[in-house]
Protein backbone atom coordinates (compact mmCIF):
# COMPACT_ATOMS: atom_id res chain seq x y z
CA UNK A 1 0.00 0.00 0.00
CA UNK A 2 1.11 3.55 -0.71
CA UNK A 3 1.08 6.17 2.01
CA UNK A 4 -1.70 8.75 1.65
CA UNK A 5 0.86 11.53 1.77
CA UNK A 6 2.42 10.33 -1.51
CA UNK A 7 -0.95 10.55 -3.24
CA UNK A 8 -1.42 14.03 -1.78
CA UNK A 9 2.06 14.95 -2.97
CA UNK A 10 1.13 13.89 -6.51
CA UNK A 11 -1.82 16.29 -6.41
CA UNK A 12 0.46 19.07 -5.18
CA UNK A 13 2.97 18.36 -7.94
CA UNK A 14 0.27 18.49 -10.61
CA UNK A 15 -0.82 21.83 -9.22
CA UNK A 16 2.77 23.08 -9.26
CA UNK A 17 3.22 22.01 -12.89
CA UNK A 18 0.08 23.77 -14.07
CA UNK A 19 0.71 26.96 -12.11
CA UNK A 20 4.32 27.32 -13.23
CA UNK A 21 3.51 26.71 -16.90
CA UNK A 22 0.65 29.21 -16.67
CA UNK A 23 2.98 31.77 -15.09
CA UNK A 24 5.56 31.22 -17.82
CA UNK A 25 3.01 31.40 -20.62
CA UNK A 26 4.68 28.39 -22.22
CA UNK A 27 5.80 24.88 -21.36
CA UNK A 28 4.81 21.25 -21.63
CA UNK A 29 1.93 20.16 -19.38
CA UNK A 30 0.94 16.90 -21.12
CA UNK A 31 4.15 14.94 -20.66
CA UNK A 32 4.84 16.50 -17.27
CA UNK A 33 1.49 15.36 -15.87
CA UNK A 34 1.93 11.83 -17.24
CA UNK A 35 5.21 11.41 -15.33
CA UNK A 36 4.08 12.59 -11.88
CA UNK A 37 3.79 9.20 -10.17
CA UNK A 38 7.03 7.95 -11.71
CA UNK A 39 9.11 10.85 -10.39
CA UNK A 40 7.30 10.88 -7.05
CA UNK A 41 8.15 7.21 -6.51
CA UNK A 42 11.76 7.76 -7.53
CA UNK A 43 12.59 10.82 -5.46
CA UNK A 44 10.51 10.14 -2.37
CA UNK A 45 10.86 6.36 -2.01
CA UNK A 46 13.41 4.79 -4.35
CA UNK A 47 16.51 6.88 -5.02
CA UNK A 48 19.24 7.46 -2.47
CA UNK A 49 19.63 11.24 -2.70
CA UNK A 50 20.13 14.01 -0.16
CA UNK A 51 19.15 17.61 -0.99
CA UNK A 52 21.63 18.77 1.67
CA UNK A 53 24.43 17.02 -0.23
CA UNK A 54 23.47 17.15 -3.91
CA UNK A 55 26.99 16.29 -5.09
CA UNK A 56 27.40 13.16 -3.00
CA UNK A 57 29.52 10.86 -5.22
CA UNK A 58 27.53 7.82 -4.05
CA UNK A 59 24.10 9.31 -4.77
CA UNK A 60 21.74 7.69 -7.23
CA UNK A 61 21.50 9.53 -10.55
CA UNK A 62 18.45 10.59 -12.56
CA UNK A 63 18.43 11.62 -16.22
CA UNK A 64 15.34 13.33 -17.64
CA UNK A 65 15.89 12.37 -21.25
CA UNK A 66 12.52 13.86 -22.24
CA UNK A 67 13.84 17.23 -21.14
CA UNK A 68 10.75 19.19 -22.17
CA UNK A 69 9.03 17.65 -19.11
CA UNK A 70 11.29 19.82 -16.94
CA UNK A 71 8.32 21.32 -15.02
CA UNK A 72 7.58 18.06 -13.18
CA UNK A 73 11.27 17.53 -12.39
CA UNK A 74 11.56 21.08 -11.04
CA UNK A 75 8.43 20.63 -8.94
CA UNK A 76 9.77 17.37 -7.50
CA UNK A 77 13.17 18.86 -6.70
CA UNK A 78 11.53 21.82 -4.98
CA UNK A 79 9.22 19.66 -2.88
CA UNK A 80 12.13 17.37 -2.03
CA UNK A 81 14.02 20.35 -0.62
CA UNK A 82 16.65 21.16 -3.26
CA UNK A 83 15.37 24.73 -3.53
CA UNK A 84 12.51 26.94 -2.36
CA UNK A 85 9.19 26.14 -4.10
CA UNK A 86 8.62 29.90 -4.28
CA UNK A 87 11.06 29.82 -7.21
CA UNK A 88 8.78 27.63 -9.34
CA UNK A 89 6.84 30.52 -10.96
CA UNK A 90 10.12 31.74 -12.51
CA UNK A 91 10.01 28.87 -15.01
CA UNK A 92 11.46 29.94 -18.36
CA UNK A 93 12.17 33.48 -17.12
CA UNK A 94 15.37 35.20 -18.23
CA UNK A 95 18.11 34.42 -15.70
CA UNK A 96 16.07 31.82 -13.82
CA UNK A 97 17.75 28.47 -13.08
CA UNK A 98 14.47 26.88 -14.15
CA UNK A 99 14.97 26.95 -17.89
CA UNK A 100 12.70 25.30 -20.45
CA UNK A 101 15.01 22.29 -20.43
CA UNK A 102 17.19 21.22 -17.48
CA UNK A 103 20.55 23.01 -17.19
CA UNK A 104 22.68 21.12 -14.69
CA UNK A 105 25.06 24.03 -14.01
CA UNK A 106 22.21 26.32 -12.95
CA UNK A 107 20.32 24.14 -10.48
CA UNK A 108 21.34 21.74 -7.69
CA UNK A 109 20.08 18.18 -8.02
CA UNK A 110 20.43 17.87 -11.78
CA UNK A 111 22.75 15.15 -13.09
CA UNK A 112 22.47 16.07 -16.76
CA UNK A 113 21.41 18.90 -19.04
CA UNK A 114 18.85 17.60 -21.49
CA UNK A 115 16.38 18.53 -24.16
CA UNK A 116 17.65 17.06 -27.41
CA UNK A 117 15.66 13.84 -27.50
CA UNK A 118 17.29 10.44 -27.68
CA UNK A 119 20.48 11.21 -25.77
CA UNK A 120 19.59 10.51 -22.15
CA UNK A 121 20.03 6.74 -22.12
CA UNK A 122 23.55 7.11 -23.51
CA UNK A 123 24.38 9.48 -20.63
CA UNK A 124 22.82 7.07 -18.15
CA UNK A 125 24.97 4.28 -19.56
CA UNK A 126 28.10 6.37 -19.07
CA UNK A 127 27.24 7.08 -15.44
CA UNK A 128 26.41 3.44 -14.79
CA UNK A 129 29.58 2.24 -16.50
CA UNK A 130 31.61 4.61 -14.32
CA UNK A 131 29.94 3.19 -11.21
CA UNK A 132 30.96 -0.31 -12.27
CA UNK A 133 34.55 0.74 -12.94
CA UNK A 134 34.88 2.72 -9.71
CA UNK A 135 33.02 0.13 -7.62
CA UNK A 136 30.40 2.70 -6.62
CA UNK A 137 26.99 1.61 -5.27
CA UNK A 138 24.78 4.10 -7.07
CA UNK A 139 22.09 3.28 -9.61
CA UNK A 140 21.14 5.41 -12.60
CA UNK A 141 17.55 6.03 -13.71
CA UNK A 142 16.58 7.47 -17.09
CA UNK A 143 13.08 8.64 -18.05
CA UNK A 144 12.26 8.65 -21.76
CA UNK A 145 9.12 9.41 -23.72
CA UNK A 146 7.54 6.86 -26.05
CA UNK A 147 7.81 9.30 -28.94
CA UNK A 148 11.46 9.71 -28.04
CA UNK A 149 12.21 6.03 -28.59
CA UNK A 150 11.65 6.66 -32.29
CA UNK A 151 15.23 8.02 -32.14
CA UNK A 152 17.88 5.59 -33.35
CA UNK A 153 20.35 6.58 -30.62
CA UNK A 154 18.02 5.09 -28.01
CA UNK A 155 18.47 1.66 -29.55
CA UNK A 156 22.23 2.04 -29.85
CA UNK A 157 22.23 2.84 -26.14
CA UNK A 158 19.93 -0.10 -25.42
CA UNK A 159 22.33 -2.43 -27.21
CA UNK A 160 25.29 -0.94 -25.32
CA UNK A 161 23.72 -1.31 -21.86
CA UNK A 162 22.95 -4.97 -22.48
CA UNK A 163 26.38 -5.67 -23.97
CA UNK A 164 28.15 -4.33 -20.89
CA UNK A 165 25.69 -5.91 -18.43
CA UNK A 166 24.73 -2.57 -16.89
CA UNK A 167 22.31 -3.92 -14.30
CA UNK A 168 22.67 -0.62 -12.42
CA UNK A 169 20.75 1.14 -15.20
CA UNK A 170 16.97 1.40 -15.05
CA UNK A 171 15.21 3.06 -17.98
CA UNK A 172 11.58 4.11 -17.74
CA UNK A 173 9.45 4.74 -20.80
CA UNK A 174 6.58 7.17 -20.17
CA UNK A 175 4.31 5.30 -22.56
CA UNK A 176 1.45 7.78 -22.91
CA UNK A 177 0.84 7.14 -26.61
CA UNK A 178 0.81 10.82 -27.65
CA UNK A 179 3.56 13.09 -28.94
CA UNK A 180 3.77 16.64 -30.27
CA UNK A 181 1.40 16.42 -33.22
CA UNK A 182 -0.44 13.12 -32.94
CA UNK A 183 -0.33 9.63 -31.54
CA UNK A 184 2.87 7.62 -31.62
CA UNK A 185 0.97 4.88 -33.45
CA UNK A 186 0.09 7.29 -36.28
CA UNK A 187 3.46 9.03 -36.53
CA UNK A 188 5.94 6.20 -36.07
CA UNK A 189 4.69 3.16 -34.21
CA UNK A 190 6.97 1.94 -31.41
CA UNK A 191 5.02 -1.03 -30.15
CA UNK A 192 5.60 -3.70 -29.05
CA UNK A 193 8.06 -1.87 -26.81
CA UNK A 194 8.57 -4.69 -24.34
CA UNK A 195 9.42 -7.22 -27.02
CA UNK A 196 11.85 -4.81 -28.64
CA UNK A 197 13.76 -4.23 -25.41
CA UNK A 198 13.77 -7.97 -24.65
CA UNK A 199 15.29 -8.60 -28.06
CA UNK A 200 18.03 -6.13 -27.15
CA UNK A 201 18.80 -8.10 -23.97
CA UNK A 202 16.89 -6.11 -21.35
CA UNK A 203 14.75 -7.22 -18.44
CA UNK A 204 11.30 -5.72 -19.10
CA UNK A 205 8.63 -4.74 -16.57
CA UNK A 206 5.21 -3.52 -17.71
CA UNK A 207 3.18 -1.50 -15.22
CA UNK A 208 0.47 1.10 -14.75
CA UNK A 209 2.48 4.30 -14.52
CA UNK A 210 -0.17 6.04 -12.39
CA UNK A 211 -0.48 3.26 -9.77
CA UNK A 212 2.11 4.16 -7.15
CA UNK A 213 2.06 0.68 -5.64
CA UNK A 214 2.76 -0.87 -9.04
CA UNK A 215 5.46 1.68 -9.86
CA UNK A 216 7.25 1.10 -6.55
CA UNK A 217 7.09 -2.67 -7.05
CA UNK A 218 8.58 -2.26 -10.52
CA UNK A 219 11.52 -0.27 -9.18
CA UNK A 220 12.09 -2.90 -6.50
CA UNK A 221 12.12 -5.65 -9.11
CA UNK A 222 14.54 -3.62 -11.22
CA UNK A 223 16.96 -3.26 -8.30
CA UNK A 224 16.88 -7.01 -7.73
CA UNK A 225 17.60 -7.86 -11.38
CA UNK A 226 21.23 -8.80 -11.95
CA UNK A 227 23.30 -9.22 -15.10
CA UNK A 228 21.20 -7.07 -17.45
CA UNK A 229 19.64 -3.59 -17.54
CA UNK A 230 15.96 -3.11 -16.78
CA UNK A 231 13.34 -1.04 -18.55
CA UNK A 232 9.99 -0.21 -16.99
CA UNK A 233 7.38 0.35 -19.68
CA UNK A 234 4.92 2.51 -17.77
CA UNK A 235 1.50 2.85 -19.34
CA UNK A 236 0.42 6.42 -18.71
CA UNK A 237 -2.06 9.07 -19.82
CA UNK A 238 -0.86 12.27 -21.43
CA UNK A 239 -2.16 15.18 -19.33
CA UNK A 240 -3.22 12.84 -16.51
CA UNK A 241 -5.54 14.41 -13.96
CA UNK A 242 -7.05 17.12 -16.14
CA UNK A 243 -9.93 15.80 -18.24
CA UNK A 244 -9.63 18.28 -21.11
CA UNK A 245 -5.87 17.70 -21.37
CA UNK A 246 -5.88 13.92 -21.25
CA UNK A 247 -4.77 12.17 -24.46
CA UNK A 248 -4.75 15.48 -26.36
CA UNK A 249 -1.65 16.26 -28.43
CA UNK A 250 -2.70 19.92 -28.37
CA UNK A 251 -1.65 20.04 -24.73
CA UNK A 252 1.82 18.67 -25.42
CA UNK A 253 3.35 22.14 -25.33
CA UNK A 254 0.66 24.69 -24.51
CA UNK A 255 0.16 26.83 -21.40
CA UNK A 256 -3.31 27.03 -19.83
CA UNK A 257 -4.89 30.46 -19.70
CA UNK A 258 -6.45 31.82 -16.48
CA UNK A 259 -9.81 30.10 -16.96
CA UNK A 260 -8.24 26.81 -18.07
CA UNK A 261 -5.92 26.87 -15.08
CA UNK A 262 -8.84 27.37 -12.69
CA UNK A 263 -10.75 24.50 -14.29
CA UNK A 264 -7.72 22.22 -14.18
CA UNK A 265 -6.92 22.97 -10.55
CA UNK A 266 -10.54 22.33 -9.59
CA UNK A 267 -10.25 18.81 -11.03
CA UNK A 268 -6.94 18.05 -9.31
CA UNK A 269 -8.00 19.20 -5.86
Quote the percentage of the chain above a pLDDT of 90. 98
Query: Which is nearest to 220 in space by CA: 203, 236, 235?
Result: 203
Tell whether the model's pLDDT for residue 1 goes beyond 70: no
What is the value of pTM for the model shown?
0.96
| C-alpha closest to that of 232 among 244, 214, 247, 249 | 214
Specify the pLDDT at position 202. 98
Three-class secondary structure assignment of the chain: CCCHHHHHHHHHHHHHHHHHHHHHCCCCHHHHHCCHHHHHHHHHHHCCCCCCCCCCCCCCEEEECCHHHHHHHHHHHHHHCCCCHHHHHHCCCCCCCCCCCCCCCCCCCCCCCCCCCCCHHHHHHHHHHHHHHHCCCCCEEEEEECCHHHCHHHHHHHHHHHHCCCCCEEEEEEECCEECCEEHHHHHCCCCHHHHHHHCCCEEEEEECCCHHHHHHHHHHHHHCCCCCEEEEEECCCCCCCCCCCCCHHHCCCCCCHHHHHHHHHHHC
- The per-residue pLDDT for range 176-220, each reduced to its tens digit, is 999 999 999 999 999 999 999 999 999 999 999 999 999 999 999
Q: Which residues of 150-178 are buried (b: 16+ CB within 10 A; e: fewer)?
A: bbebbbebbebbbeeebbbbbbbbbbbbb
pLDDT band at 269 (very low <50, low <70, confident <90, very high): confident
Mean pLDDT of 224-235: 98
Rg of the chain over CA atoms, in angstroms?
17
Are 26 and 252 in contact by the 8 Å Cβ rule? The answer is no
Q: pLDDT digit string (tens) for 31-67?
A: 999 999 999 999 999 999 999 999 999 999 999 999 9
For position 136, which CATH number holds?
Answer: 3.40.50.970
Q: Span 230-238, mean pLDDT?
A: 98
Residue 267 pLDDT greater than 90, yes or no: yes
Residue-number span of the structural domain to which 69 is assigned: 4-268
Number of domains into which the chain is organized: 1
With CA atoms as reference, report the closest residue to 11 among 31, 37, 29: 37
Q: Predicted confidence band at 3 (pLDDT cuts at 50, 70, 90)?
A: low
Instruction: Dump pLDDT digits (tens) for 156-176.
Output: 999 999 999 999 999 999 999
Amino acid sequence: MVHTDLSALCRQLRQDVLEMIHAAGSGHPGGSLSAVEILTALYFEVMKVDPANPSDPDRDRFILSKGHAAPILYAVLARKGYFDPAMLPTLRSLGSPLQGHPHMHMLPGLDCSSGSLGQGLSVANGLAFAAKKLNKPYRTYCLMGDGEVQEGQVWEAAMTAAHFGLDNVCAIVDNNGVQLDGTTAEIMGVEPLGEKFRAFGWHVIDCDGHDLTAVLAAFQEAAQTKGKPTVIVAKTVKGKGVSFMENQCGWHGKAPNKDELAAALAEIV
